[in-house]
Amino acid sequence: MNRPNVPIAPNTTPADPVSRADFPTGERVRPRPLRKGSASYSRFVFLMKVVLPTVAVVLVGLIVVWPQLKVDETQFKIGFARLKSTEAGDPSLVNARFVGSDRDNRPYSVTADLAKHVLDKTAKVELEMPKADITTDDGSWLALTANTGFFDREAKTLDLDGDVNMFHDSGFEFMTDSAHIDLGDGIAEGHDPVRGQGPFGTLRAEGFRMEDRGNRIVFTGKSRMVIYPGKEGSAK
110-142: per-residue pLDDT in tens? 999 999 887 776 678 999 999 999 887 777 788
Q: Which residue has the higher pLDDT, 8 or 136?
A: 136
Q: Per-domain residue ranges for the chain?
A: 80-234
Architecture of the domain delimited by 80-234: Sandwich (2.60)
pTM above 0.85, yes or no: no
The average confidence (pLDDT) of the chain is: 75
pLDDT surpassing 50 at residue 236: no
Mean pLDDT along residues 160-173: 90
Cα 63 to the center of its chain, rounded Å: 26
**Which tens digit of pLDDT belongs to each residue from 199-226?**
888 999 999 998 877 678 888 999 898 9
Rounded distance, CA 53 to CA 197, Å? Answer: 74
- With a CB cutoff of 8 Å and minimum separation 6, the contacts of 83 are 91, 92, 93, 94
When mean pLDDT is compared across 42-46, 49-53, 71-75, 185-189, the lowest value belongs to 71-75
Q: How far apart are the first and last CA of the chain?
A: 149
